[in-house]
Amino acid sequence: MSNRKGLVARLRRFTDRTASVDLTRYTKLLPAIGEREADLRTLSDEEIGAAADRLRKSVDDKAWLPDMCALGREAADRALGERPFDVQLLGAMGMLSGNVVQMATGEGKTLVGAIAAAGYALRGNHVHVVSVNDYLARRDAEWMRPVYDLLGVTVGFVEESSTNDERRAAYECEVTYGAVSEIGFDVLRDRLVVVPGDQVAPHREVAIIDEADSVLVDEARVPLVLAGSVDPGVTHVEIANIVRRLRPKQHYEVDPGRNVWLTPLGEAEVERALGGIDLYDDSGSDRLASVNLALHAEALLTRDVDYLVRNGAVQLINQSRGRVAVLQRWPDGLQAAVEAKEQLAPSDSGEILDSSTVQALISRYPTVAGMTGTAVAVADTLREFYELEVAVIPTDQENIRIDEPDRIFTTAEAKLTAIVAEIEKVHADGRPILIGTQDVAESDALAELLVQAGLTCAVLNARNDAEEAKIIAEAGAPGAITVSTQMAGRGTDIKLGGHTGTGPTYDDVVERGGLYVIGTARYQSSRLDDQLRGRAGRQGDPGGSVFFASLEDEVVLMGEPNVPKGVVAEDDGEVTDRRVPPHVDHAQRVLEGVNLEIHRNTWRYTRLIERQRDDILRFRDGVLSGDAAAELMRAQAADHYAELENGLADDSLEQVCREILLFQIDRLWADHLAFLADVRDSIHLRALGKETPIDEFHRAAIPEFHKIIDEAKLQAVQTFSDLMVVDGKVDLEAAGVLRPSATWTYMVHDNPFDASVGHVLEGMRSDLRKRFGRR
């Protein structure tokens, strides 16, 4: 009873939080759930399955939720030996009500997600549990499978290596786990099938999003692309070599908003190196774009920070997770520029057949719920873009982690010296330490400094994330030092004492104060700071955290480079002026505001494209599943239809008509996407002309779209009229119906409608100065 009173007290504190769903209606159900436990314990496994089957048919909505949670708790206890706490059941109820639940690291979100997914499945839905990577999708599906089996719910997973048959079987399960990219790519590929029934993922009913803030906010505007071609990419090695010789501040300038441009001296140098052309007239305009891309690659994209070079290829690094972004690339021109910079062979380039943003993908599910450790900070964003509310779930045990104030230095060098000294001091006490770095280069450099200081450390970054589970398993062992890039989305808890999390080593680490987390700089989002801190103090364990920062950090330089006047540092470079911590907080808020505005601006454009895509898909699905194509040919080319029907050796003419019309629809849609990309790329020039970019985009996009269906029908009839039957068959390729011989998928790493980040930054700085006052 005392535990329940403590839970109620903590709930009162949590439900007072801004943007939090009131949990009272869920807590009122906890006694009813507890009352069902005794009866459920007496049932056999087969009887548990029968009880779940009765839930499938239940129409008693009032009793359904406590029945489901009680059954889920019993199944988890039997199958995994893990009896869900009351707070975990609150999380499951929150998700079963269509909310995003915020649960601290180590509170058992994976099990909570499984109970919620099983509940939706027992309500007759196909459920996609959307993860951030293949590893977590496979791990969680296999880990939770015994729970699903007891409840009679089928479960599968998809990953990059899955075959079409494996994907189709996984999606036919009631619950399917998959990375957001894999599910998105399957949806894109399904949009291009030409034979009814060939889709692998026809059901999109409920999405439960793991790491919901990362997927729904950080990656929301990332386009998933399906491309097709056999053409090798084109690269401009000559231009890359010219740009490599240019000197910053002399030949080009870079601003804190990550923009770069040639100076007059730089323009003259490039024009001379290219044989005396004028970059700004007709003779050089085709080279200007290549020069700008090469300059962007040289000045703004850094090896081991933005990308790795591994196995002869450029591999992008996901900035919010510090991991290799599998299948992710920049748009073709920039990708080729980076490959030329690194003197690599160009990768394939080709025509975009279709694309969709992560936000558009998730928005197509009628029901969306999610879970994460840091949702409150983006509650307004989730409400604005997804109409989702956040339910903050209290921890089962009180959080006793000690978060120390930031330590701020004037220079990055002074900061790094202090970080190494702090690690040496804490390590001398035998306390495990986790250091969160900004990127691969910083993690490697810090590890080298620690070796020089005589300290042994494990490094977890994009170079070796395949060893993640092994490294994390021992990160809580006595005296362990682990240097890692961003911990968000890694999905593995750090247990005090090592991988067992019990016994004398656990007690030893607890006595020494638990895991100590050090951040080497503030991230561009306070959520990422909180996710790093949250690795310590799990489930009531002791722990501590401290963030180091400098006035030379990227967050400060980009967000608010104007340091308060009169700031004086100590001899070691540390700043104790009370005005400086708010200054760093302010810089971080500016960047959070910029990223939100980019998201909002991108969605304004993408929303129109998605509406047009809906119309095209509605028409396309009707053609795919019906006989509209054959009816069109019979009406527009009746004589030729009869002639072909008599000449074909089988009854395939209806499918031939279908493939022709679908080909024309897909071709014209791809052309439309290319047209919109051209409009998008020039939209900032219209803004300079005092025109409203979004209005101009709509003015260009809408009339062109309305031509597609009529033009597809016209082209399809013309193609059909040219068909010939040879030996009882129709040669569609000879008639020009050429599907790509190769297709591939990737995620574009760019902000397509953000041509002026610097202006957004300055605008945000100005706005925040007005709101909060000059610091």
3-state secondary structure 120-153: HHHCCCCEEEEECCHHHHHHHHHHHHHHHHHHCC
Is the pLDDT at 766 greater than 70? The verdict is no
Tell whether 332 and 370 lie within a shared domain. Answer: no
Tell whether 270 and 122 lie within a shared domain. Answer: no
Burial (CB < 10 A; 0-12, 13-18, 19+), residue 367, is: middle
Give the CATH number of the domain where residue 325 resides. 3.90.1440.10
pLDDT at 14: 46
Of 550, 582, 613, the last residue of a domain is 550
Which helix H or strand E contains 99, and what residues bound it? none
Q: How far apart are CA 381 and CA 302, in angstroms?
A: 30
> Is 552 annotated among the ligand-binding residues?
no
Give the total number of structural domains in the chain.
4
Specify the 3-state DSSP secondary structure of 537: coil
Q: How far apart are CA 24 and CA 332, in angstroms?
A: 52
> Is 5 annotated among the ligand-binding residues?
no
What is the rounded average pLDDT of the residues 5-26?
Answer: 62
Instruction: Please state the pTM of the whole predicted model.
Output: 0.83
Q: How confident is the model at residue 465 (pLDDT cuts 50, 70, 90)?
A: low
Residue 771 lies in a domain: no
Residue 216 lies in a domain: yes
* Amino acid type, 110: T
Tell whether 156 and 61 lie within a shared domain. Answer: yes
Tell whether 30 and 158 lie within a shared domain. Answer: yes
Give the CATH number of the domain where residue 368 resides. 3.40.50.300
Tell whether 422 and 503 lie within a shared domain. Answer: yes
Tell whether 27 and 122 lie within a shared domain. Answer: yes
Expressed in angstroms, the distance from the first to the final Cα of the chain is 50
> Is 413 annotated among the ligand-binding residues?
no
Q: How far apart are CA 65 and CA 33, in angstroms?
A: 9
pLDDT at 768: 47
Is the pLDDT at 584 greater than 80? The verdict is yes
What is the rounded average pLDDT of the residues 170-187?
Answer: 95
Q: How far apart are CA 351 and CA 229, in angstroms?
A: 6
Nearest of 21, 26, 29 to residue 382 by alpha carbon: 21
Tell whether 449 and 536 lie within a shared domain. Answer: yes
Residue 556 lies in a domain: no
Tell whether 363 and 294 lie within a shared domain. Answer: no
Give the CATH number of the domain where residue 715 resides. 1.10.3060.10
Q: How confident is the model at residue 760 (pLDDT cuts 50, 70, 90)?
A: very low
Q: Which range is most confident: 5-19, 39-53, 233-247, 284-298?
A: 39-53
Tell whether 542 and 428 lie within a shared domain. Answer: yes
> Is 110 annotated among the ligand-binding residues?
yes
> Is 108 annotated among the ligand-binding residues?
yes
Residue 438 lies in a domain: yes
**Residue 301, domain extent:** 237-349
Residue 228 lies in a domain: no
- Within 8 A by CB and 6+ apart from 442, the residues are 305, 520
> Is 163 annotated among the ligand-binding residues?
no
pLDDT at 649: 73
Nearest of 439, 492, 527 to residue 218 by alpha carbon: 527
Residue 256 lies in a domain: yes
Residue 595 lies in a domain: no
Tell whether 33 and 65 lie within a shared domain. Answer: yes
pLDDT 10s digits, 338-379: 888 888 887 766 678 898 889 999 999 999 999 998 899 899
b/e sequence 672-703, b meaning 16+ C-beta within 10 Å: bbeebeebbeebeebeeeeeebbebbeebbee
CA dihedral over 705, 615, 206, 141, signed as positive or negative: negative
Can you spell out the DSSP letters for 657-690? HHHHHHHHHHHHHHHHHHHHHHHHHHHHHHHHTT
Specify the 3-state DSSP secondary structure of 186: helix
3 or 442: whose pLDDT is higher? 442
Tell whether 155 and 41 lie within a shared domain. Answer: yes
> Is 22 annotated among the ligand-binding residues?
no
What is the rounded average pLDDT of the residues 628-654?
Answer: 90
> Which residue do the tokens 């090592």 mark?
498
Residue 571 lies in a domain: no
Tell whether 207 and 246 lie within a shared domain. Answer: no
Measured torsion, CA atoms of residues 82, 86, 90, 92, in degrees rounded to the nearest 10: 20
